[in-house]
Amino acid sequence: MLHEKESPDIHVDVYVVYPTPEWNYHYLITSGMSEKPMPVPDGAADGRYSELILGLPPDWPLSMEAFSDEANYWPVRLLKGLARYAHENKTWLYAGHSILWSDPPKPFASNTRMAAVLLMRPRLVPEEAQIVHVRKNKRIRLWGFIRSMKKNWN
């Protein structure tokens, strides 16, 4: 787990699930975004409580030493920023929403041209695992986002 030491608003940690022979990706999963409900409209109640998941190539460096280089850390920074986005802006995130990271658009890091994300249901997670049942009235929806699978992410 990548534990957050200082939290400006909501506490967002990132869990790391390491590759297995069946799932040859690192998975990064936020924890904290779902502590507060988002103000979703009618028809989107299944996304009121959400977390984010991202698959990374199995050789992506995930050590604290590697994170001193923004080219390795940006996926974590992106997840934490997106997890806070809805709460900071008093809005909601759902499949089909696109989020521009900066204005004017700038790439996330030097090793990518990506500057925005498009939320979607995570294709690398079985459908039955995309909703986590926490208690009777709380279900957490996992959202992934579209990005390139190329090693250099461009």
Task: Please report the sign of the dihedral spanned by the C-alpha atoms of residue 18, residue 63, residue 15, residue 117.
Answer: negative
- pLDDT over threshold 70, residue 36: yes
Q: Strand 49-56 relative to strand 98-100: parallel, antiparallel, unpaired?
A: unpaired
Q: Would you state the pLDDT for residue 154?
A: 45
pLDDT confidence band for 150 (50 / 70 / 90): very low
Q: How far is Cα 78 from Cα 23, in angstroms, rounded to an integer?
A: 22
Mean pLDDT, the chain, whole residue set: 88
pLDDT tens per residue across span 57-108: 999 999 999 999 999 999 999 999 999 999 999 999 999 999 888 888 888 8
In a domain, 8, yes or no: no
In a domain, 1, yes or no: no
- Domain extent for 137: 13-146
Q: Would you state the pLDDT for residue 151?
A: 43
**DSSP state at residue 68:** G
Count of domains forming the chain? 1
In a domain, 6, yes or no: no
- pLDDT over threshold 60, residue 110: yes
DSSP 130-152: SEEEEETTEEEEEEEEE---STT
What average pLDDT does range 3-7 have in this prediction?
68
Q: Would you state the pLDDT for residue 3?
A: 66
In a domain, 103, yes or no: yes
Q: Would you state the pLDDT for residue 149?
A: 36
Q: Would you state the pLDDT for residue 147?
A: 54
- The tokens for 57 are 């190539």
What average pLDDT does range 35-55 have in this prediction?
92
In a domain, 151, yes or no: no
Buried b (16+ CB within 10 A) or exposed e, 93-120: bbeebebebeeeeeebbebbebeebebe
Q: How far is Cα 125 from Cα 105, in angstroms, rounded to an integer?
A: 30
In a domain, 4, yes or no: no
